[in-house]
């Protein structure tokens, strides 16, 4: 009897974990597709760090939480901003100097791990977000993979197949137990 309770509890636990994982990954993938390729959690965009320019504080392969900004002209020296550079490339670097011109604010930026400041100053209107201070190491590799076609298969279809298989196994086990009870009742009736 105790073994049956443990198995029942374990069954519920595995089912719950699989369901939460499947729903969580599905929501992340849907959020990524709806926002144009940028996963968003609680109002923060998750960006994958592709270079070591901000190491050791922000490691390559990490994800960082970036808060979107609409007005990029109110930052101060030392803030870490994410900005759009040529060819729609996003960069996250620290502000080292601020210059106000008649056309607006220009930021001089530099990666913490770089020897020199970036070549081109950043226009305030090119700033898309500010680094929130939240970094999760190595998860960026996983998110980049999840956004690929192979990643969609691994993170959506594969867990779905596992859930279906596990549900089939659970149903088969329940039917087997019912058959065993019926056989026991028949044997007792004889």
CB 166 within 8 A of CB 18: yes
- State the CB neighbour count (10 A cutoff) for residue 62: 21
When pLDDT is averaged across residues 18-37 and rounded to a whole number, the result is: 70
| 16 catalytic per annotation | no
Is 70 exceeded by the pLDDT of residue 1? no
Question: Domain residues of the chain, as ranges?
Answer: 1-37+147-180, 40-139
> Distance between CA atoms of 183 and 174, rounded to whole angstroms?
14
CA distances in angstroms from 5 to 8, 10, 12, 13, 105, listed in the order given:
5, 8, 11, 12, 66
pLDDT tens, residue by residue, 45-85: 778 788 888 888 888 888 888 888 877 778 888 888 888 88
Q: Alpha-carbon distance 188 to 190, whole Å?
A: 5
Q: Which of 16, 35, 51, 148 is an active site residue?
A: 51
In percent, the amount of the chain with pLDDT more than 90 equals: 0
190 — pLDDT class (breaks 50, 70, 90): low
Q: pLDDT grade, residue 32 (50/70/90)?
A: low
Handedness of CA 163, 164, 169, 175 (dihedral sign): positive
Fold (CATH) for 40-139 = Umud Fragment, subunit A (2.10.109)
**Given a cut of 80, is residue 115 above it in pLDDT?**
yes
The radius of gyration computed from the CA coordinates of the chain, to the nearest angstrom, equals 26
Strand runs (DSSP E) across 20-156, as ranges?
40-41, 44-48, 63-68, 80-85, 89-101, 104-110, 122-123, 127-136
Q: Is the peptide bond before 56 cis (omega within 30 degrees of 0)?
A: yes
pLDDT of residue 137: 84
State pLDDT tens for residues 137-188.
887 777 777 777 887 777 777 777 887 888 888 888 888 888 888 777 777 7
pLDDT given at position 163: 77
In the Cβ-directed half-sphere of 110, how many Cα atoms lie within 13 Å? 12
Q: What is the pLDDT of residue 70?
A: 79
């Amino acid at each position: 009897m105790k073994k049956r309770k443990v198995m029942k509890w374990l069954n519920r636990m595995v089912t719950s974990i699989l369901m939460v994982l499947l729903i969580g990954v599905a929501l992340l993938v849907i959020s990524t597709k709806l926002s144009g390729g940028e996963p968003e959690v609680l109002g923060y965009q998750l960006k994958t760090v592709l270079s070591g320019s901000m190491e050791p504080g922000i490691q390559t392969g990490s994800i960082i939480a970036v808060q979107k900004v609409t007005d990029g002209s109110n930052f101060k020296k030392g803030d870490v901003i994410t900005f759009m550079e040529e060819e729609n490339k996003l960069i996250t670097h620290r502000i080292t100097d601020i210059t106000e011109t008649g056309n607006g604010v220009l930021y001089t930026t530099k990666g913490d791990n770089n020897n020199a400041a970036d070549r081109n100053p950043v226009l305030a209107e090119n700033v898309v977000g500010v680094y929130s201070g939240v970094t999760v190491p190595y998860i960026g590799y996983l998110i980049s993979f999840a956004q690929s076609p192979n990643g969609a298969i691994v993170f959506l279809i594969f867990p779905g197949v596992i859930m279906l298989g596990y549900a089939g196994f659970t149903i088969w086990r329940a039917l087997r137990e019912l058959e065993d009870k019926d056989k026991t009742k028949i044997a007792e009736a004889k």
